[in-house]
Amino acid sequence: MSEPSTTALPADRTRRSAVRIDDRMLSIGTVLLLGLLPIWIGSFWLYSISLLLAQGIAILSVSFLIRYSGEVSIGHNFFVATGAYTIALLQNGPNVPFLGGVVVATAVSAAVGLLFAWPSRTLSGVYLSVVTLALGLCVPEVLLYWSEVTGGFEGLFVESRIVGGVASGLQQYYVALAALCIATFVAHRFRGSRLGLMILTARDHPHAAAAFGMTSGSARLSAFAVSAAIAGFGGSILGFTTSMVSPNSFIFWNSVTLLVGAVVSLYSTRIYGVVVGAAFVTLVPQLLSNYGQFILIIYGLALLGVIIVFNVTVPAIVRRVRRRRNHRV
Amino acid sequence: MFPLLPDYALSAASSAQYALDVLGKDKCALIWQNDELGRRAKFGLDLVLSSRKKTILTDVSFDVATTDLSAQIQRVSAAGAEVVLLFGSNAHLASALRSAARISWKGTWFAPFFTADPSTYELTGDLLDGVYFSSWLLPLDADRPAIEAYRAVVPKYYPNDKLGVFGLNGWTGASLFAVAFERLLSSGKEPTRENLIAVMNTIDGVSAGAADKITFTAGDHRGTRQEVMIRAEAGKFRLVRDFSPYPQVVFDAVSK
Amino acid sequence: MLPVIWQGIVTGCLYSLGALGLVMIFKSSKMVNFAHGALAGYGAFSVHALTAGGAGWPWLAAVAAALLGAIAISVLVYGLIAELLQRAATTATIATLGIGLIAQGMILWQYGSNIFRLDLPLPHLSFSILGMALTAYDVAVLSATFLVVVALFLVIERTRLGVAFRAVSTDPFAARVCGLSISRVHLFSWVTSSMLGVIAALLIVPTTFLSSTTVTTFMLQAFAAAVIGGFDSLPGSAIGGILVGVSCNLFSFYVAPELLNTFLLTFMLASLSFFPGGILSQRLGSRV
């Protein structure tokens, strides 16, 4: 949370390795389980879980941002929409194939993210958070204002088959699963990469990082751009799994959902964590579809509760345990 | 499908016709919700005005989620509008009336039929007085027996439901079905789907519920063909003009 | 054009009131309270429930009760997040988003998604000066804003608590070394902010109507005002509110009312690029 387990400092190898195997086993187990799941479930759940997986990528992008720059975004629906509409427009216009569309969508989102974060690069994080609020709110109005391009309320159709002969439901499912695997893999490995280490150093030890030429401003810009790229990637997959894009799927509320998912997943970059967060925000509205107000309250309690438990309660317990142990010694 | 709910293009056209012919005002502006509701109203208003060699003075749209319409009101006021047609929900109507009161703009308002509802008065207070509604349903306070029956029955069986235009809408649809079904039974034919459709297609100038002159033929399902004009006065909705046909150009233009 | 600007100034006063509440909290606690709008909306709903909505209290009594309620809630909220504040502003910010969602959910739960009318007890008055219409409502907004700003100024400049508030907002560490109670100052700013929020909500609702989203929607403009004026400047945010009010009105009138949020986004980004310290700041880039 405020002190994510990812730090720029080299970790204690001996203690970490045991934990690491557990993490890896859990990840592999999750992927295997998800891979076999279509054997047992019907088409409704297949579709729901496809959406959940695509949503997971977007949740990952929010977690990534919080982890690497300490910024909260409530405007990531903008980048998800950028990715989704980019792929839809590329398909409907120049008829670009799916994979090409995904690559372009990811790149465009990264560029838009960079552009957006640029003015606040030297300011404190609160400014960025507040401006993301406006970013999140303006998505539907922009899409509706330029209806000739975006298809207005009805939106645009997205081709949901890549290869012939396989049911589109299954294709949507496995594409979403593969995409989530790729996204979590990249996000997780990012920590060890040169850029990742620089960003983390700039976050924790700004002066040291500045000596390497990474100011905290440019570190924040990089983190934001990567996060926007992940969100755009997720958006293009979301467009594929829903086989259409329309303004209603990218309202401000979706950003709130993404943040709740990220917090519930404890900003995890592991696939099992992301799936838990995504499952929470997918299942709660489905179970409580007739009680809209309770969804708000449950989401609010989840944000508040998780934050307080992991920032106040857990550290307090840890402190007490440590103190007791010291006494005994 | 035997729809009763008329295309909003028709209501908008009827409103404009009333403003031009009865009220003698021709500077019409339109404030429309940027979805199907508003777009149809704009289509109808455009058509009826151009058929009379006139144009819309100005038109401004707004999004469903908008709560503050003061910018839109500023625009129609600056354009010198005498009449404003507002096609949106009763919340938007309330918001628009408030904005107009704030800048002391005084003109004539027309709003869609479903806003001629007691709940609108709850939102606007006496600001609603003087607003016109072109409606395919008689006002809720009318003394036609079918509407009196609606006012009597709903509190009896559904004490928690408020009387309103939406209820009257459903009541009218059900009344039409009852008329058709009675005809079918008295004709002695089997009550099958085909026979019911055949009977529905013979409905000609029937009055049912709060609507009037409902007509269906095999190739033409524009059931509602006439509207009344309602005016809000001192907390009530009063009938100011009886059923009168839609402007022909617009009626011809809406799909059968 | 003059009436458009005039209306913008009146609405801008409301944005200023909203922004002042946000800035009060930011100055002392260095965090953004995203629950500000929802909690203020909750206050407005309480006033409605206590007056026309059922209980039938006199308006002033209902407002007093709502203000007391807002104070109690703000103390509770501060109690919840006080410990988070010592760690990182980011987590406290997320926590306020959670509180905002809960408040919004409570509004929906208690009052449903219906919309209500909640007017100020004012006569239907309007007169015209220089071709601009002036209503009793406009006068009420202008005078309420004026009174609030003067009162706030007096409290901050003349009282012990105000001095402590200024000390904490300039240098929290030095203030603590001098023996000032940080949490008392925090509480002061949260309580003041919540009262400012309820006042702003009661003044904004009469322009449209009361629904579960009216006040939160309006708070976007207040956020924009705080960004443009500088989150650490009370006078800046007051002026920022009026700037936002006027420019939004001009934009809606001359360009496109449907793109208001986009305009605010662009305005904020432009302001951050050209006036990173807020419009009143000379110290460029000092907001890190």
pLDDT at A211 over 80: no
Confidence of residue A226 (pLDDT cuts 50, 70, 90): very high
Average pLDDT of chain A is 83
Distance set, CA A121 to CA A223, A224, C192 (Å): 11, 10, 31
pLDDT score recorded for residue A18: 53
Domain boundaries, chain C: 15-213
DSSP A30-84: HHHHHHHGGGT--HHHHHHHHHHHHHHHHHHHHHHHHHHH----S-THHHHHHHH
- For the segment C172-200, what is each residue's pLDDT rounded down to a tens digit? 777 777 777 778 888 899 999 999 999 99
Q: Over chain C, what is the mean pLDDT?
A: 85
Q: Is the pLDDT of residue A19 over 70?
A: no
Distance CA B97, CA B109 (A): 9
Radius of gyration of chain C (CA): 19
Highest mean pLDDT among A200-214, B48-62, B191-205, C96-110: C96-110
Separation of CA C30 from chain center: 16
Size of interface B-C (CB pairs under 8 A): 79
Residue ranges of A 2-21 with Cβ closer than 8 A to chain C: 2
With 70 as the cut, is the pLDDT of residue B222 above it?
yes
Which of C207, C214, C219 to mutate to test binding with chain B, by most B CBs within 10 Å of its CB?
A: C207
From A239's Cα to the closest Cα of chain C, the distance in A is 23
Q: How far is CA C115 from CA C111, C122, C195, C197, in A?
A: 9, 21, 23, 20
Residue B155 has a pLDDT of 80
Average pLDDT over residues A199-204: 80
Which pair of tokens denotes residue B169? 């809408």
> Domains along chain A?
13-287 (1.10.3470)
Q: Where in chain B is the domain with CATH 3.40.50.2300?
A: 8-137+227-253
Residues of B in contact with A144 (CB under 8 A): 34, 63
Whether residues B72 and C257 touch (CB distance < 8 A) is answered with: yes
Give pLDDT tens digits for B63-85. Answer: 887 778 888 888 888 888 888 99
- Concatenating the DSSP letter of every residue in B174-198 gives HHHHHHHHHHHHHHT----HHHHHH
For residue C105, the chain A residues in CB contact (below 8 A) are: 293-297, 300
Which CATH number is B8-137+227-253's, of 3.30.300.30, 3.40.50.2300, 3.40.50.2000, 3.40.190.10? 3.40.50.2300
**The token pair that represents B152 in the structure block:** 């009597």
Query: Which of A70, A303, A308 is the closest to C101 by Cβ?
Result: A303
Task: Tell me: pLDDT of B3 over 80.
Answer: no
Q: Sorting pLDDT into bands at 50, 70 and 90, what band is A106? A: very high
Ramachandran angles phi, psi of C254, nearest 5°? -95, -25
**Rounded to whole angstroms, how far apart are CA atoms B112 and A14?**
74
| pLDDT reported for residue C192 | 92
d(CA C246, CA C20): 18
* pLDDT tens-digit series, residues B114-157: 888 888 888 888 888 889 998 888 888 888 888 888 888 888 88
